[in-house]
Amino acid sequence: MSDIEDNIPTIQDIEEAHERILPYIHFTPILTSDTINEFAGAKIWFKCENLQKVGAFKIRGALNAVLLLPPELKEKGVATHSSGNHAQALARAARQNGLNAYIVMPENAPKIKKNAVLGYGAEVFFCKPNLASRESKLKEVVKKTGASVIHPYNDYRVIAGQATAAFELLQEAADLDVIMTPVGGGGLISGTALIAHYISPDTQVIGGEPAGADDAFLSLQAGKIVTKENPSSIADGLLATIGPKTFEIMQKHVAQIITVEEEEIIDSMKMIWERMKIIVEPSAAVPLAALLKNKSQFSGKRIGIILSGGNVDLENLPF
Amino acid sequence: MSDIEDNIPTIQDIEEAHERILPYIHFTPILTSDTINEFAGAKIWFKCENLQKVGAFKIRGALNAVLLLPPELKEKGVATHSSGNHAQALARAARQNGLNAYIVMPENAPKIKKNAVLGYGAEVFFCKPNLASRESKLKEVVKKTGASVIHPYNDYRVIAGQATAAFELLQEAADLDVIMTPVGGGGLISGTALIAHYISPDTQVIGGEPAGADDAFLSLQAGKIVTKENPSSIADGLLATIGPKTFEIMQKHVAQIITVEEEEIIDSMKMIWERMKIIVEPSAAVPLAALLKNKSQFSGKRIGIILSGGNVDLENLPF
């Protein structure tokens, strides 16, 4: 076991993670839009993780975790429960490295997501769509296979991997006043906050969170993890509850969480599609929605936004 | 008047065009997709002119033409008739350089296009939706204003500008066996064929054209310009008839035109949206459709595709 499993990632951990995963990922482009800058009254660099492999930043953390496994554990494969981008990311990361992947998914997960995971060669196990059933099914799978469980965010190896997106952003867009990310389980924002703290300490890290799933906002306010009952949002990648590891980092290094309403998310999503000609999922539009909601706070600033993903059902758009 | 108005652009003309327009454009990213490569059985570099300013390569040619005008003509502005991407491109190129732009559009042009042109500060004149009315209205506007007419493609300054997209592509993706572009009036493909001829003569340039608007295909076959009666395709950027200047260059330097059916265009468009997470208009999907139609011809090859634009009505998608 490497130290990184038990300790908040250091700058070296993140730099090494980047070197480790770089052969397997896209060094994604950073795009800008004069029209959006004008509308926002700020200068925005969009780090396009929607154009990343599997269509989301999640491949970064999954790859780092998979590549850090010792050979005797690699042989037994990896497992997780997820119906979202982490499932695809782990399946792909495993296949790229010759590992078996065992993915527990709720039986009502969209067919398109099941097929994507199967397409990456993972073995899929179905469970009832509730946390207890997911966890017991995962335990059963692990008992049978000996696979290593890779949590989607509450895992320092994953957090170090997610940090590499902002690491690239900060290499190309210097002197950012702010970096904004969406907040779900907190893997992306905590990784982002760590690397900004290490290499660009004057850069504030600010999260955008749907009001209907604002557990991170509430938790930072309360000083302890607060679970949101029945979280709900069109930003379906952001419904997870933050974990102890991501929460601790967020408490130390995240400046602010801004919550946004559903219409604000949809409007920002549409603006990105129309103006930038790229496909982002609702979750990825949440930071821009947060910026536009608090325009005066960001007026004239240099802002990096991580566009987290682009996996969306084209036949079921909200506009 | 510069020589370039009367002569096929030289390599110097194209290099100078690139330097001239670079401060005003995006050096657009080149993206790849493992999934599409696997499906196509080839290695494809997509040059993303859909992510270009105004959402299309057209800004390159418009800027080059505008910037080459002598001061006394700049003062009088520029004019064109177009309801498509060239109208937006010329309006923007003019505004960026403090020129007036006069755009003749058919009165039934989509509102979204009118608004885009007006948004760039151009003056819009409406005409009946037929060529005679467009031309007489344009003449009237030019008589009144003294503006220089910038043709969307049958203009060597424009062709030299469009050539800069492939110029960038060839700088980043070396040893391409083939470059593919869509064919409308022929500005993009003739510029592409010229620069490939100059700096990468072993690279074949191949066009994709809708079967419903296959005037370039028919013209190259006949050895003279053939007009297609009532051209029709979902690829509404490709309905124009090639001009004498673009045709001459195509005859010399284009290896082949492949025609494709409407469903093939829509399938390829959807594949690009789903797999690459970028928005392309139907016209931009035509080269990939042509490649997939003739898979065996391209098997194992290194292929550059210019994704020409991303301007599409999100509320009226063909899937």
Q: What is the pLDDT of residues A304-317, one digit of tens each?
A: 999 999 999 898 89
Q: What is the pLDDT of residue B112?
A: 79
Pairing of strands B178-182, A30-31: unpaired
Q: Is the pLDDT of residue A1 over 70?
A: no
Whether A65 contacts A161, CB under 8 Å:
yes
In this prediction, residue B142 has a pLDDT band, given cuts at 50, 70 and 90, of: very high
Confirm whether B76 is a catalytic residue: no
Q: What is this model's ipTM?
A: 0.93
* Percent of chain A scoring above 70 in pLDDT: 99
The pLDDT tens digits of the residues spanning A133-152 come to 999 999 999 999 999 999 99
The pLDDT tens digits of the residues spanning B302-317 come to 999 999 999 998 988 9
Q: Is the pLDDT of residue A201 over 70?
A: yes
Q: What is the pLDDT of residue A237?
A: 92
Q: Which residues of chain B neighbour A36 with C-beta distances below 8 Å?
A: none
Place of tokens 């899929």: A124
pTM of the model: 0.95
Contact B278 A273 (CB under 8 A): no
Mean pLDDT of A162-184: 97
* Percent of chain B scoring above 70 in pLDDT: 99
Give me the catalytic one of A82, A200, A233, A308. Answer: A308
> What residues in chain B have their Cβ under 8 A from chain A's Cβ atoms?
26, 29, 31-32, 34, 50-51, 53, 55, 270, 273-274, 276-280, 310-311, 314-315, 317, 319
In this prediction, residue B1 has a pLDDT band, given cuts at 50, 70 and 90, of: very low
In this prediction, residue A131 has a pLDDT band, given cuts at 50, 70 and 90, of: confident
Interface A-B: count of C-beta contacts within 8 A: 49
Contact B273 A314 (CB under 8 A): yes
Q: What is the pLDDT of residue B287?
A: 98
Give me the catalytic one of B43, B47, B53, B58. Answer: B58
Q: What is the pLDDT of residue A66?
A: 98
Confirm whether A308 is a catalytic residue: yes
DSSP letters of chain A?
Answer: --GGGTSPPPHHHHHHHHHHHGGGS----EE--HHHHHHHTSEEEEEEGGGSGGGBTHHHHHHHHHHHS-HHHHTT-EEEE-SSHHHHHHHHHHHHTT--EEEEEETTS-HHHHHHHHHTT-EEEEE-SSHHHHHHHHHHHHHHH-PEE--SSSSHHHHHHHHHHHHHHHHHS-S-SEEEEE-SSSHHHHHHHHHHHHH-TTSEEEEEEEGGG-HHHHHHHHTS--PPSS---S-GGG-SPP-HHHHHHHHHH--EEEEE-HHHHHHHHHHHHHHH-B---HHHHHHHHHHHHTHHHHTT-EEEEEE-B----TTS---
**Rounded Cα–Cα distance for residues B124 and B79 (Å):** 10
**Rounded Cα–Cα distance for residues B252 and B232 (Å):** 27
Q: Coil, helix or strand for B72?
A: helix
Which of A106-120, A262-276, B281-295 shows the lowest per-residue confidence on average (mean pLDDT)? A106-120
What average pLDDT is seen over chain A? 95
> What residues in chain A have their Cβ under 8 A from chain B's Cβ atoms?
26, 29, 31-32, 34, 50-51, 53, 55, 270, 273-274, 276-280, 310-311, 314-315, 317, 319
Q: How far is B54 from chain A (nearest CA, A)?
A: 9
